[in-house]
Amino acid sequence: MVSEKPRSGKDARGGGGSDIDRFALTEVVPSPRDFIFVDAERCTGCGNCVAICPMDLWRMRGGRAELAEGYRENCMECGSCYIACEAGAVDFTYPPGGTGVSYRYA
Ligand code: SF4
Ligand code: SF4
C-alpha cells in the first residue's frame, strides 16, 4: 500500500538538502505549535545549527539563523541545534504530548 504522507524531509518542506526519509524511521504527528525558538539578539551567526542539523532545517539570513518553514513536520527532535548553539540562542522543547516523532524499535 502506498502511503499518502510525504516520503522525505526534502519533499515535505519543499526544498533543502537532506535525503533522510523521516517517515521511514518514525511515526509522525506534526506539532500544532512551535517547539524551537531562536533569539535573534543572541545569535552570533556562527552557523553551527546549519552545519549540524541532520534534516537541513536551518538557514542563514542577514547574518542570523532561522528555521526553515515547515520545520515542525520535518524535525527529528534530536536537539543538536540546541546543544551546538554556544551562544544560547536556541530554545528547544519537545512537542506537546501525542505529537512529534515516535521512533520504532526493531
Ligand atoms: S532538533 Fe535536530 S532535526 Fe530538529 S531542527 Fe534541531 S538539529 Fe534539526
Ligand atoms: S548555532 Fe546559535 S549562534 Fe550559531 S547561527 Fe545558529 S542560532 Fe545563531
In a domain, 3, yes or no: no
Domain range for 94 is: 9-103
Secondary element (H or E) of residue 100? strand 100-103
In a domain, 47, yes or no: yes
List the residue whose alpha carbon is closest to atom 2 of ligand 2.
85
Q: Of the residues 28, 49, 55, 71, which should be mutated to test ligand 1's pocket, given the most ligand atoms within 8 Å of the CB?
A: 55
> How many other CB atoms are there within 10 angstroms of residue 12's CB atom?
18
In a domain, 48, yes or no: yes
Secondary element (H or E) of residue 91? strand 90-92
Q: Where would I find the beta strands (DSSP E) of 22-88?
A: 26-29, 36-38, 58-61, 64-67
Q: Find the CATH number of the domain harbouring 22.
A: 3.30.70.20
Q: Of the residues 25, 28, 78, 101, which should be mutated to test ligand 1's pocket, given the most ligand atoms within 8 Å of the CB?
A: 78
Ligand minimally distant from the alpha carbon of residue 82: 1
Closest atom of ligand 1 to 90 CA is 6
Closest atom of ligand 1 to 84 CA is 7
pLDDT at residue 79, rounded to an integer = 97
Query: What distances in angstroms separate CA 27 from CA 19, 41, 60, 77, one per listed residue?
Result: 18, 35, 29, 13
How many angstroms does the Cα of residue 43 sit away from the middle of ligand 2?
5
pLDDT at residue 15, rounded to an integer = 44
Residues of the chain with pLDDT under 70: 1-17, 22-26, 104-106
pLDDT at residue 3, rounded to an integer = 38
pLDDT at residue 65, rounded to an integer = 98
**DSSP 8-state assignment for residue 52:** H
CB 23 within 8 A of CB 8: yes
pTM exceeds cut of 0.85: no
pLDDT at residue 28, rounded to an integer = 85
In a domain, 2, yes or no: no
